[in-house]
Chain A
Amino acid sequence: MTIPHPGPAGRPAPSDTDLRAEPGSFRDPANRIFHAGPDVLRALDETAAAHWRALAGSAFFPPLMAAGKVCGTEELPAQAAPANWAALLRHERIPFVSHPYEWSFSMLRDAALLHLEILRAALPAGFTTKDGSAYNLQWRGTEPVFIDVGSFAPLAEGEPWAGYRQFCQTLLYPLLLGAHLGLDFQPWLRARVDGIEPDQMARLFKGARRFLPGVPTHVHLHGRAQRRNADRSTAAVREQLRDAGYSRELALASVRGMEKLVRRLEHEPPASHWVDYQRTCGYSEADRAAKERFVTAALTSAGRGRLVLDLGANDGRYSRIAARHADHVVAVEQDPAVVDRLYRTLRGEGERRVLPLVMDLADPSPGGGWRGVERASFAARAGADTVLALALVHHLAIGRNVPLPEVVGCLAELAAPGGRLVVEFVHPEDAMARRLLANKPDGIFPDYRRDAFEALLAARGTVEDRLELPSGSRTLYRVALGG
């Protein structure tokens, strides 16, 4: 894997004063992530540095990195290490950091399978991972990437996987909720930074459900074993397991068993009205063609961008167009079923630069974990060169009662300074707007007007281009924000 920036020889190593500690990286004291300008750096203590060098020299790790399954990593010269740290690594930059509660079922499953694949490659080589969290994984478009290089450690013979509990709580259990109960796992993961506990799961899987695949062992037996061994130290249990003959082969057999289980978990969410939205939302062919031309022109007008946010992406039509004119696209959609379908379609097409995410824009991901900054909020991560908000404003302003100035403010603030907003305004007379208004008391939104919307845009920047679609009930705007 080549790292998309010059190597250590090509650029001076950052000084200590440039380093900004990543607030989400503190749980493993042996290493810590820092940012310095565009660089993502990992500082290691003596032990972690020794583990890294063993890892870099192993037979299994370099091929995983070359295949892009582990994030690209290089060691900087020894003198680059910050004070009190033994070594410094530079990582490939992940285009857009996302959280597991923003992924769809198939995304979480593919992430889980990659984690297991990496562990299965590591074990025979005498390595393991210290944890098994869903937060060990990120996305490069539709490709999962294992990012926690600091998690690899030499395997002590006779020891089970230390990350199993976390794997269950943040990956397996959410998948079981989807596959066996048809529940969307996202709210569960969003509410609990450490995932779902076995005891909580056991309460959901009673009666005949306790015999569903994976449930008797990974949920019920796991919960019982935790309760019964709560007063025993892990060191004592590790020794007992070693004495009883636990081996590397057994660890491998468990990983293979888990892979088999995860692979067969399927979740077909019931089709919501959003699934067929693109087909049913009433664009004429002429409207669609004009809209595509407008969006393409908007995307090419400012040169190639790094990041485009496509809000309310639905089937990803405009995300795909954006991917031709930007390095990365994040396609945000609130319906997990739509995101799952989009993810699978994009994977099938080989489109690797669009990252689909599940999120309701009227309730976007807040900051989470310690002090609310361990998991950054969506607003803090956005900073797009271009924000696409097509056929979205009326859903927020009419459907969710968000005041129009708030809607425009939110869209503008998701762009980086000097960015662009490409936004569609659905006139109150439009069939879709009328359908939404029909469910609300008469006259409730007197300010939902085209002139009011245009005044709000003008207050946020310069309207560079506008187009009324041929049907006459929708208008598109391209706004250069700021100044």
Chain B
Amino acid sequence: MPGMDMARGKERSVKHLAYLDAGSGSLIVQAVVGGVAGVAVAAKLYWRRLVSRFRRQPTDQS
């Protein structure tokens, strides 16, 4: 259950990761700790996110 950090005014959802919830960030870090091949996977993931953001923008505006 996400709680509110009043001082920062944003959700601190990472503080309340449920049991059996792997945690999105915790999944990504595992690629990086898997050595060179893992870093390549993480880089590919972030590259795809970047590309998809630029691809989406024109359609969002239209």
A228 contact set on B, CB distance < 8 A: 25
User: When A27-B19, A230-B24, A234-B22 are in contact, do A164 and B29 touch as well, CB less than 8 Å?
Assistant: yes
User: When A165-B22, A228-B25, A237-B28 are in contact, do A257 and B41 touch as well, CB less than 8 Å?
Assistant: no
Interface size on B, residues (CB 8 A): 31
A246 contact set on B, CB distance < 8 A: 31, 38, 41
CB contact between B33 and one of A194, A230, A237, A254 (< 8 Å): that residue: A254
CB contact between B23 and one of A165, A241, A258 (< 8 Å): that residue: A165
Q: Is B55 an interface residue (CB 8 A)?
A: no
The answer on a CB contact under 8 Å between B41 and A230 is: no
Interface size on A, residues (CB 8 A): 48
Q: Is B15 an interface residue (CB 8 A)?
A: yes
The answer on a CB contact under 8 Å between A257 and B35 is: yes
Besides A221-B32, A251-B30, 15 more A-B contacts (Cβ < 8 Å) are A131-B19, A160-B31, A194-B19, A217-B33, A225-B26, A226-B17, A227-B25, A228-B25, A230-B25, A231-B13, A238-B27, A240-B45, A244-B44, A244-B45, A246-B38
Residue in chain A with minimal CB distance to B46: A244
The answer on a CB contact under 8 Å between B32 and A217 is: yes
A243 contact set on B, CB distance < 8 A: 45, 48
The answer on a CB contact under 8 Å between B27 and A226 is: no
Alpha-carbon separation in the docked complex, A258 to B30 (Å): 10
For A166, A194, A225, A254, which residue has the most chain B Cβ atoms within 10 angstroms?
A225
Residue in chain B with minimal CB distance to A165: B26
The answer on a CB contact under 8 Å between B14 and A230 is: yes
Alpha-carbon separation in the docked complex, A163 to B31 (Å): 14
- The DSSP consensus for interface residues of chain B is helix
Alpha-carbon separation in the docked complex, A258 to B17 (Å): 22
Residues of A whose CB lies within 8 Å of any CB of B are: 27-28, 130-131, 159-166, 168, 194, 197, 199, 217-218, 221-234, 236-238, 240-241, 243-246, 249-251, 253-254, 257-258
B37 contact set on A, CB distance < 8 A: 249-250, 253
A244 contact set on B, CB distance < 8 A: 31, 41-42, 44-45, 48
Alpha-carbon separation in the docked complex, A221 to B46 (Å): 15
Alpha-carbon separation in the docked complex, A197 to B17 (Å): 10
Alpha-carbon separation in the docked complex, A130 to B19 (Å): 10
